[in-house]
Structure 1
Amino acid sequence: MTLLLPALQSPTGPAASREAVRFGALSLTYGELATASTALAARIADAGRVAVWATPTAETVIAVVAALRAGVPAVPLNPRTGEAELAHILADSEPTAVLAGPDDALPPALEKLRRVTVDARAFERTEDHPAVEADPEAPALIVYTSGTTGPPKGAVLPRRAIAASLDALEDAWGWTGDDVLVHALPLFHVHGLILGVLGPLRRGGALRHLGKFSAEGVARELGSGGTMLFGVPTMYHRLAEVLDAQGGGDAERGELAKALAGARLLVSGSAALPVHDHERIAAATGRRVIERYGMTETLMNTGIRADGVPRSGTVGPPLAGVELRLVEEDGTVLTGPEAIGEIQVRGPNLFTGYLNRPDATAAAHTADGWFRTGDVGTVDEDGYVTIVGRKATDLIKSGGYKIGAGEIENVLLGHPGVREAAVTGEADPDLGERVVAWVVAADPDSPPRAEELADHVAGQLAPHKRPRTVHFLDALPRNDLGKIMKRSLHVG
């Protein structure tokens, strides 16, 4: 398990002539990627730790692969990170060099680092040197969390965790070297980088990155040999809009529907895909989107199997090697399909800890070694997990009831007058917390009445789940992955 990318062991190996990655018109074979990464690995072998300016380009792939081959931990940097956050990450991780493309304009904070230029079109040729066979527990990547409750923390991901998670997905999805993955995800987080880049490369398959997401790009690449599509809910929502005749012409809809129908797997992650979008895509293509559940610290925990039952709204059972349980606030382990509690996991997919933060690492784990995800969910009799939401923002305690924001959001999204919806809890002197809905109307000039939406929820779910307050917005605040930033939702 020490070799993460066996297909890249040699520029002249059996896979040398196969396409490894494609970014627009630029394509690299396994032989070319092996040559480029070997040369770069030699240049950074003594760097200690490197930062990677993680643009959605082939240069980022070469940089990360080179770091892995050299046994040097890499810190992927979001090019859109603000000055203060970037300064914090650099001070915390202390890289000695930054790997960037020849045309990348780097911010002043990176000027003190040695710049190592990575050019996917002009890489030097060197002798064939095998990759470093690093210890499975050696750090491979240090990925910084979103920092919603303080400065971002660097999650140290060992080679063991990456290999274990990708191999569990191979088992769940029947992922092989014949698969061609299509996606347009950023390359500075685990979804786009580990699953979306290292996943295909570990299997010996191919990646086609769109650069920028578009329905046209998805249709083109899936229609010309792509077998798998990875995306976040925002992307699938936009595809559903096109399929649902709310964007594009008949030809565009037809090509997209045919391409999606021909894919082997459509996978959504990073947040829950609304049931309404599940159903629209299935109705138009006959193909169900499957979901998986993971985090920066744990990589992948659960997933709908390719040979399993695709149940909309669930993220499937635990993956091979992953243990999962629900717990009450006092630590009591919960059982039964009606139980709702915090999800805790353990297994070989877990990180080793937060860089320079032993206090945070200890707080994130129980005494018996389970990781506290902070997510709240349920587990049905077949082991399928449903994510209710985050413990801090999506579990609403109202009138003695535990209410999951996600189920109310799905019902609101099923209303024809609602385009987007988010649900939060707000302090209430009588109920403890009241349910608050934040809605983007399908027709801003003629939004549904608040009472109509509240009655719609009460009729579909239960009276205690009805929104007590409804706010109408032009748009919901989202991060780079399309996740709704609920902490930004407030009046005033």
Structure 2
Amino acid sequence: MLEGCVPWPEEFKERYIRNGYWEQIPLGKAFDRLAEFFPDREALVFGDQRFTYYQLKNISDRLAVKFLEIGLRPLDRIVVQLPNVPEFVFAYFALLKIGVIPVLCLTAHRFNEITYIAEKAQAKGYIISDYYRNFSYLELAKEVRDTVSSIKYVFVVGEESRGNILISDLIIADSKQSLIEQVLDKYSPDPFEVAVLLLSGGTTGLPKLIARTHNDYLYTAKINALHAGLNKHSVYLAVAPLAHNMTLACPGITGTFLHGGKVILTSSTDTATICALTEKEKITNLPLVPAMVISLLNYEMVNDFNLSSLVAIISGGSKLNPEVAKRVKPELGCEIIQQFGMAEGMLAMTDIHDPEEMKYKTIGRPLSPADEIKIVDDKGIEVPVGEIGELWCRGPYTIRGYYQAPEHNAQAFSADGFYKTGDLVKLDPSCGGLSIQGRKKDLINRGGEKISAEGLENLILAHPKVHNAAVVAMPDPVLGEKVCAYIILYPKQVITLEELNNFLLGKKIAKFKLPERLEIMDQFPLTNVGKISKKDLRFDIQKKLESVAKN
């Protein structure tokens, strides 16, 4: 296994293979099997570009061989920083087929993040667009290459190369099919080996690298697709960045391809665009982060589009509040699937056949029979059913450690291999589903009293005037922290802090949990994957308080 990664113990490897969770097939070969079975079926659509399974296999095969001819070798790492374009898919599968490890970054990352990631991974290559959203990645690549000595090759998607290698030139280059097959057989990776390096989703600091193997990531995609109900008739709209775990393999493009379905790519999170694509391409499965679900439900023109093809909206990335979840079926005519997970591994998901209490109030159950979970207190002792604690997990698709991070791993993993997620959950005794209560670090510590930001947000969202809400800690010289509520109101509505708190008291909550400041906004700042950026909200309230203190 790649040096710096933490392998599963042998007894667990044997168990996962024996029970059929790990199929001992590399991801690229698993895709190729579907391509051979459905050669003429449409696999990928981006605007006017449409590719069959055969074409997608053929392009990725040729690109894989060209990568080898240029000098890439198995276990080399290559930073991939591309938007949702077909070339991302071509390059991703090409690299998987020859055991070169893509390190997936977001287009919003800049010099600081990319140099850190490239140095950490000792990347040998870097794949970019020439320009995207008025930003020159060619300039960024020059700065990165001048700083990171390990980078030998820069590959460019677009028309301008500036002396780098154009991906389009590699795709159109001729290679004999018999030679391609011989080369790919020779370089086919070990399923135990690392397939891809993902980035951790932390809100502060620089990301950690998450090594996912061919065995565990193939299982991730398949078990997700099974629970989401994907099949050869499924049409999946990839909205969030392809570099994000949810869009890549939960079930993502990988799970869709492995069931013979079709993937539609878009880089736009605009609600009108999503509706138009759903109507045009007859989207069946629509993965959205909660903020986008809310935008879709409240879109004034939604009834102007034919969305009848929708089978399910898959909500992931953060918790979807029950009040919003309940609106999906009556207003959009499709099911809501709640999904909770992490790039590090374990996922939970509701099922369209679950009872309403499960579908709306929980994030379902862990996907795999082999998932092991604990809900523990601050001392690592399991709490009684129904009580809140931190979720720990291990299983056939949960990593045993971050890449090249032994000191952090000692804190983030238990001695017996459980990953300490930092998520606060409780097990619902009535339906057996997990419900998210927030993050350990998303607790507001008001003079020693811990307040769950997410729990308070759920109550605020029940107010008929409130469209969306985010609760953050604001600094206080006496208590340490107090509650600040950021709110987006429905049109033509007005609310005061007093009115909001009277409403919350009607919900019979403790007074110490009440917001002590109210901020009204037209829209929330969002992270690169569409989550509400609480980091920005905390910064906003801190600056406002500092300004008041100065005056």
TM normalised by structure 1 equals 0.89
Q: Does 1:327 align with 2:361?
A: no
**Counterpart-to-counterpart distance in 2, 1:178 and 1:201:** 11
Task: Please point out which of 67, 70, 73 is paired with 1:44.
Answer: 67
Match of 2:296 in 1: 239
1:137 CA displacement: 2.6
1:386 CA displacement: 0.9
1:237 CA displacement: 1.2
Match of 2:425 in 1: 377
Match of 1:70 in 2: 98
Task: Please point out which of 428, 444, 450 is paired with 2:497.
Answer: 450
Match of 1:294 in 2: 341
**Counterpart-to-counterpart distance in 1, 2:35 and 2:349:** 36
CA contact 1:5–1:202 (8 Å) conserved in 2: no
Three-state SS of the structure 2 residue aligned to 1:151 is coil
Q: Does 1:162 align with 2:217?
A: yes
CA contact 2:81–2:106 (8 Å) conserved in 1: yes
**Counterpart-to-counterpart distance in 1, 2:322 and 2:392:** 25
Q: Does 1:109 align with 2:143?
A: yes
- Assess, with a 3 A threshold, how the Cα gap between structure 1 residues 37 and 374 changes in structure 2: closer, same or farther: same
- Assess, with a 3 A threshold, how the Cα gap between structure 1 residues 363 and 44 changes in structure 2: closer, same or farther: farther
**Counterpart-to-counterpart distance in 2, 1:115 and 1:428:** 49
Q: How many residues of Structure 1 are paired with residues of Structure 2 in the alignment?
A: 478
Which piece of structure 1 moves more, 381-390 or 173-182?
A: 173-182
For structure 1, list consecutive stretches of 5 or more residues without a partner in the other structure: none
CA contact 1:303–1:317 (8 Å) conserved in 2: yes
CA contact 1:143–1:157 (8 Å) conserved in 2: yes
Instruction: Give the counterpart letter for 1:355 in structure 2.
Output: Y
1:276 CA displacement: 3.2
**Counterpart-to-counterpart distance in 2, 1:120 and 1:237:** 42
CA contact 1:102–1:118 (8 Å) conserved in 2: no
Three-state SS of the structure 1 residue aligned to 2:441 is coil
Three-state SS of the structure 2 residue aligned to 1:353 is coil
- Assess, with a 3 A threshold, how the Cα gap between structure 1 residues 206 and 11 changes in structure 2: closer, same or farther: closer
Match of 2:286 in 1: 229
Q: Does 1:188 align with 2:243?
A: yes
Match of 2:353 in 1: 307
- Assess, with a 3 A threshold, how the Cα gap between structure 1 residues 5 and 200 changes in structure 2: closer, same or farther: farther
Match of 2:517 in 1: 469
Q: Within 5 A, what are the aligned runs for 1:285-434?
A: 285-298=332-345, 300-310=346-356, 311-320=359-368, 321-337=370-386, 339-381=387-429, 382-393=431-442, 395-396=443-444, 402-426=450-474, 434=482
Instruction: Give the counterpart letter for 2:37 in structure 1.
Output: P
Q: Does 1:148 align with 2:148?
A: no
**Counterpart-to-counterpart distance in 2, 1:412 and 1:469:** 13
**Counterpart-to-counterpart distance in 2, 1:433 and 1:80:** 31
1:101 CA displacement: 5.0
Q: Does 1:203 align with 2:226?
A: no
Q: Does 1:176 align with 2:231?
A: yes
CA contact 2:82–2:129 (8 Å) conserved in 1: no
Match of 1:23 in 2: 46
For structure 2, list consecutive stretches of 5 or more residues without a partner in the other structure: 1-22, 146-150, 156-165, 544-551
1:177 CA displacement: 2.6
**Counterpart-to-counterpart distance in 2, 1:166 and 1:411:** 34
1:102 CA displacement: 6.7
1:241 CA displacement: 1.0
**Counterpart-to-counterpart distance in 2, 1:169 and 1:151:** 28
**Counterpart-to-counterpart distance in 1, 2:337 and 2:508:** 24
Percent of pairs with identical residues? 26
CA contact 2:400–2:417 (8 Å) conserved in 1: no
Three-state SS of the structure 2 residue aligned to 1:351 is coil
Instruction: Give the counterpart letter for 1:479 in structure 2.
Output: T
Match of 2:162 in 1: none
Instruction: Give the counterpart letter for 1:72 in structure 2.
Output: V
Of Structure 1 and Structure 2, the greater helix share is in 2
Match of 1:118 in 2: 167
CA contact 1:86–1:109 (8 Å) conserved in 2: no
- Assess, with a 3 A threshold, how the Cα gap between structure 1 residues 25 and 7 changes in structure 2: closer, same or farther: farther
- Assess, with a 3 A threshold, how the Cα gap between structure 1 residues 441 and 335 changes in structure 2: closer, same or farther: same
- Assess, with a 3 A threshold, how the Cα gap between structure 1 residues 412 and 10 changes in structure 2: closer, same or farther: closer
C-alpha distance after superposition, 1:146-173 (max 9, x if no partner): 4534322111111222112122223322
1:332 CA displacement: 1.0
Match of 1:91 in 2: 119
Match of 2:87 in 1: 59
C-alpha distance after superposition, 1:351-394 (max 9, x if no partner): 2432221111221101121100001111112321111111101x
- Assess, with a 3 A threshold, how the Cα gap between structure 1 residues 28 and 120 changes in structure 2: closer, same or farther: farther
C-alpha distance after superposition, 1:430-487 (max 9, x if no partner): 87754331223345x8631101111112212423333233233454332111212223
**Counterpart-to-counterpart distance in 2, 1:230 and 1:118:** 29
1:429 CA displacement: 8.1
CA contact 1:158–1:352 (8 Å) conserved in 2: no
**Counterpart-to-counterpart distance in 1, 2:516 and 2:35:** 65
CA contact 1:36–1:125 (8 Å) conserved in 2: no
**Counterpart-to-counterpart distance in 1, 2:526 and 2:432:** 31
Instruction: Give the counterpart letter for 2:379 in structure 1.
Output: D
**Counterpart-to-counterpart distance in 1, 2:485 and 2:225:** 39
**Counterpart-to-counterpart distance in 2, 1:278 and 1:457:** 21
